[in-house]
Structure 1
Amino acid sequence: MRTERANGGGNAVRRDPKVIVGAAIIRDGRVLACARSAPPEVAGMWEFPGGKVEPGETEPAALARECVEELAVRVEIGARIGRDVRMAHGRSVLKVYAARLLHDDEPQPLEHSALRWLSATDLDTVTWLPADAPIVAALRPLLSTDPPPR
């Protein structure tokens, strides 16, 4: 889907929506959820880590970069999960990919207020950002329903 806006001469200018990528980092049948620390209107809501694809960057490269910046982890990017999710009045689209941690990296909350590993039965225990919520149903079959080991 393209969006249109008028330029200074009144002509419509077509733009492709900005692509935002998210990582569903899966380990031991659980997915990593990250609590937003800002802006205030979404602080405390949960999301998949990720961010904007920069010009000249592939979606997997952008996602790998974002995981280093946000969590200090290296990841291998896998298949897409779920559908494209429209955001920001159609100006952006979220695409979520499965990912796995590399080299025994352990996520650190560099840009988030908290991190949690969620099983399929735990997915509804957090309040997801509206854009991330549609991905949860597609993600559920990939996760374990067993409680975590104590």
Structure 2
Amino acid sequence: MQTERANGGGQAERRDLKVIVGAAIIRDGRVLACARSAPPEVAGMWEFPGGKVEPGEGETEALIRECAEELAVRVEIGDRVGRNVRMAHGRSVLKVYAARLLHDDEPQALEHQALRWLAADELDEVTWLPADAPIVAALRPHLLRTR
């Protein structure tokens, strides 16, 4: 994704935004939340699993890879959840997609302190990373419909 901004001379300067993808893995009307283990300033805060889209990789492809690496699960990626969320001082954007587990896979906390399945009325029981908070708000009505 590219953006433009004016430099000191008033000319537009192009820069690439890093795309971060997240998975709102939904099962039985609940979404999987993952507690960060690092870095220290966000350890214990909750997020949707995912990570950076690598060069030459599509968003869906990156999300499938990240879920396998972080949770040892295979997922099917669905529709976008919420809007793009700008992060990291405007240098990256978070895009979250609904997902479902395949083949009765069970998530494992390979890179997180803890995992938790949350229903719509439990979403506020954890402290979400600031970038994930707008996604949580957008996800709530979806979880209520899928109960």
Q: CA deviation at 1:5?
A: 9.1
Match in the other structure for 2:3: 2
* CA shift in 2, pair 1:5/1:39, >3 Å: farther
Cα shift at 1:2:
1.6
Residue 64 of structure 2 corresponds to which residue in structure 1?
A: 64
Contact 1:3-1:17 within 8 A present in 2 as well: no
Whole-Å separation in 1 of the counterparts to 2:61 and 2:103: 18
The one-letter code matched in structure 1 to 2:88 is: A
Calculate the aligned-residue CA RMSD, in Å.
2.1
Percent identical: 81
Aligned to 2:27: 27
Shift of 1:144: 4.1
TM-score w.r.t. length of structure 1: 0.89
Q: Which amino acid aligns with 1:23?
A: A
Whole-angstrom distance in 2 between the partners of 1:104 and 1:3:
44
**For residue 137 of structure 2, what is the aligned residue in structure 1?**
137
Paired residue secondary structure (2:115): strand
Code of the aligned partner of 1:26: I
Matches within 5 A, 1:95-106: 95-106=95-106
Per-residue CA deviation, residues 89-135 of structure 1 (Å, 9 max, x unaligned), is 10000000000000000000000000000000000000000000000
Aligned residue number for residue 122 of structure 1: 122
Residue 53 of structure 1 corresponds to: 53
Normalization by structure 2: what TM-score? 0.91
What is the alpha-carbon distance in structure 2 between the residues aligned to residue 101 and residue 48 of structure 1?
14
**Partner in structure 1 of residue 84 of structure 2:** 84
1:38 corresponding residue in structure 2: 38
Structure 2 unaligned blocks of 5 or more = none
> Which secondary structure does the structure 2 equivalent of 1:65 belong to?
helix
CA distance in structure 2 between the aligned counterparts of 1:122 and 1:18, rounded to whole angstroms: 31
Note the C-alpha offset of 1:16.
2.1
Q: Can you give the 5+ residue segments of structure 1 that lack an aligned partner in the other structure? A: none
Distance 1:114 1:60 in 2: 24
How far is the alpha carbon of 1:13 from its aligned partner? 4.6
SS of the equivalent of 1:143 reads: helix
Aligned mates of 1:78, 1:40 — CA distance in 2: 32
Count of matched residue positions in the alignment of Structure 1 and Structure 2:
143
SS at 1:134's partner residue?
Answer: helix
